[in-house]
């Protein structure tokens, strides 16, 4: 059975995102709450949510709403497609290189 185009794209993108310096990346499982972005990242202290789409894919209303809420709260919301992959990776590398608001190591608060 052939993989869906979005699945093939995800398998291409995840290793590239995991190479970002000062970053944590997780792929959200299909069984997660509907409308949750496909990938969540923390890049140099900045929260990033990514929804993966093919170049012809369209966000549904819930996906759009969740990305808008993330952006409204100060996170970065990205619809990542094959055509904007290079520009998005450049943007995320720029964030990683700028050290973010917290330049020192932080511990988990318990």
In a domain, residue 82? The reply is yes
Global confidence as pTM = 0.86
In a domain, residue 104? The reply is no
- 88-98 mean pLDDT: 93
pLDDT grade, residue 2 (50/70/90)?
Answer: low
pLDDT at 35: 87
In a domain, residue 68? The reply is yes
Model pLDDT for residues 27-84, shown as the tens digit of each residue: 987 666 788 999 999 999 899 999 999 999 999 999 999 999 999 999 999 999 999 9
Question: Does residue 15 or residue 100 have the better pLDDT?
Answer: 15
pLDDT grade, residue 1 (50/70/90)?
Answer: low
- Owning domain of residue 50: 5-97
pLDDT at 33: 77
- Structural domain count, the chain: 1
In a domain, residue 107? The reply is no
In a domain, residue 105? The reply is no
Q: Which residues pair with 51 in a beta bridge?
A: 79
- Provide the token pair at 24: 């944590």
CATH of the domain at 36: 3.40.1350.10
Long-range contacts of the stretch 62-66 (C-beta < 8 A, 24+): 62/34, 62/35, 63/35, 63/37, 65/35, 66/35, 66/36, 66/37
- Provide the token pair at 45: 């202290």
Work out the number of other CB atoms within 10 angstroms of the CB of residue 103.
9
């Amino acid at each position: 059975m052939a993989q869906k185009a979005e699945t093939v794209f995800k398998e291409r993108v995840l290793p590239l995102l995991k190479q970002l310096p000062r970053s944590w990346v997780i792929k959200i499982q299909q069984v997660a709450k509907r409308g949750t972005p496909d990938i969540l990242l923390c890049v140099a202290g900045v929260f990033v949510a990514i929804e993966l789409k093919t170049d012809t894919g369209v966000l549904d209303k819930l996906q759009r709403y969740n990305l808008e809420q993330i952006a409204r709260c100060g996170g970065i919301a990205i619809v990542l497609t094959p055509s904007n992959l290079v520009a998005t990776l450049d943007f995320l590398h720029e964030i990683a290189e700028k050290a973010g608001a917290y330049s020192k190591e932080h511990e988990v608060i318990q």
